[in-house]
Amino acid sequence: MTLLIDIGNSRTKYILANVISSNESMVVNNHCINFNWLDDHFKSVEKIIISCVSSNTILKVISEWAKNTQIELKIIESEAKRYGVVSIYQQPKKLGVDRWLSMIGALSLHPDKNILIVDAGTATTIDLLSAGGQHHGGWILPGINLMIDSLLANTSKIEANRKENPSLTFGDNTNANVNNACWAATLGAINLAITQARKELDSIDVILLTGGNARYIAPILEDEIIIEDNLILYGLQRYNLN
C-alpha cells in the first residue's frame, strides 16, 4: 500500500493512494505526529509519498521513522515540468510544492481546461493554468486568520475576535469591521484574479477552490466554482501512478 501525506502549516492530511476521492482524507494536527503515532497508524504501508510546506521538523520525524521501519519514502519537490504541467518559475524549486501539486492535481482532474486554482488556507494562493498545462503565474496573500492576526499584533487599540461566518457587510463595531474587511479583501483578490485570468486566457473553464476556508468562501463568490478538498493529494497520487 502507498500512503500519500501532505504536511501543511498547521495540519497534515493523508490517505491511501488507491482510495483517494474528493471527500475522503484524514487530518491530524502537526504537533500530534511522533514515532508512536506513526507506529499506530502507518506500520502496514509499503511506501510513502510526501510533500511538506511547513517546517522540516515533521518531515524529519516521518523520514527517520520510515528509515527505521524500512518503508520507502519519496519526498516531492517542485519541478520545471512533470505530468503535463510546465512551471513558469525560472527557478522551479522556488515554487511552493503545495502550489505545484495543486496544478498537477487540477490538470489530472480537468484535462484540457483553463483552470484558476485558489487555495484558501494559512496563506491564500492563486494560480492560473492553461489547457496545455502551462503555468501562467499567480498570487500569494495572507490567509484570513493571518490578516486578522497581523492587524491585531501591529495596532494598539484595535480589538477583535475571529468569526467563522464570513460577511461582506459594513460592520457596526470594531470586531465586525476587522473580520468583514479581511473577508472582503480576500474575496476582492479572488474576483480580481478571475477577471485578470479571463484577460490572459480569454476564458476560464474551471475555478477550483481548496483549503480550509474554501467552504466559507464558496457561498459568497458569484462565479461557479468547484470545491476540491484533496487537490494536493491528487497531485501526490499522480506521482504514484508512474
Catalytic residue numbers, as ranges: 98
**How is residue 86 written as a grid cell?**
510546465
Closest C-alpha to 1, from 49, 69, 67, 33: 49
Measured in whole angstroms, the distance separating CA 155 from the mean position of its chain's CA atoms is: 29
Please state the φ and ψ torsions of residue 89, each to the nearest 5 degrees: -70, 135
123-158 burial string, b = 16+ CB within 10 Å, else e? bbbbbbbbeebebeebeeebbbebbbeeeeeeeeee
**How is residue 115 written as a grid cell?**
483552470
